[in-house]
Amino acid sequence: MHPILFKIGSFPIGTYGLLLTLGFFMALLLAQKLARKEGLAPESISDLAITLLLAGVIGSKLLMIIVDLCSGATFAQVFDLGYLRAGGAIHGGIIGATLAFFWRVKRLKLPLARTLDCMTPAVALGQAIGRLGCFSAGCCYGTACNLPWAVTFTDPNAQALSGTPLAMPLHPVQLYTFLTNITIMTILLLMRRHRRFVGQISGCYFILEGIGRIITEHWRGDLDRGFLLDIPWLSTGRATSCLFIVFGVALLFWFARRARTAVAV
């Protein structure tokens, strides 16, 4: 795996950053395609996507910093340039992007449920490609593994930038998450053919994302995953995943109720 793909002079070009950029544009293309099917303006989706990207990056960095400070890291460590090159906490990115989404949708006067149904499959795709970036960089690494598909990181840059253990077989948890997100995207796209009400896709996204993260968190080895309330099982990732599931269920009930009300009227 190669955290630094190449250098321009002394400036390193990170593989994670390139794949994150690719993920953004692939997700944008999918969101625009879905928007056309929903009768929404693709240019409004582009405007929204840029807002979500910025909010997602800021949110992921903030949650990463908060989690590490709570785990005993110092301010000097979390504001080090090398540390800040890490991808961040994905759920912090989703939380930041979700808050920005509701604000920007209101400003653009987009229909909430239809816009959510366009964006969430695209978000799953962007997350999947971003996880390939994590795998390339060595961040978000897994626990020790003796299975045939274990991966061993050898690039010193991975250890320097993300603290990745070298010369040790690990679970390729980044690839597990990649497959999880691709599966979620596929389910959501197939669900469009049988959607019972607008907004159903978005609610299911948050539920599936939460369940997927709860499962894959089992193999994460990059942080102290169990400091919340001194409960070993309740890592930050699992706690936010539970909130995601609750939020997804709430969305389903809300949008289903709106659909029933609209039919009754």
DSSP characters over 21-73: HHHHHHHHHHHHHHHHHHT--HHHHHHHHHHHHHHHHHHHHHHHHHHHHHTT-
Q: Residues 237, 213: contact at Cβ < 8 Å?
A: yes
pLDDT: is 230 or 243 the higher one? 243
- Say which DSSP state 217 is in: G
**Cα torsion through 25, 31, 33, 39, rounded to 10:** -140
What does the pLDDT read at residue 223?
A: 62
The pTM score is: 0.83
Q: How many CA atoms lie within 13 A of 70 on its CB side?
A: 16
For residue 178, pLDDT beyond 90: yes
What does the pLDDT read at residue 148?
A: 94
**In terms of residue numbers, what domain contains 226?**
4-264
Give the pLDDT band of residue 255 (cuts 50, 70, 90): very high
What does the pLDDT read at residue 111?
A: 93
The number of domains in the chain is 1
DSSP 176-215: HHHHHHHHHHHHHHHHGGG-SSTTHHHHHHHHHHHHHHHH
Q: Residues 94, 56: contact at Cβ < 8 Å?
A: yes
What does the pLDDT read at residue 150?
A: 95
| 183 vs 199: CA distance, rounded Å | 19
What is the per-residue pLDDT across 87-112, written as a single tens digit (0 to 9) for each?
567 668 878 888 898 899 989 999 99
**3-state SS class at 163:** coil
| 186 vs 17: CA distance, rounded Å | 25
**Cα torsion through 200, 187, 122, 4, rounded to 10:** 150
For residue 264, pLDDT beyond 70: no
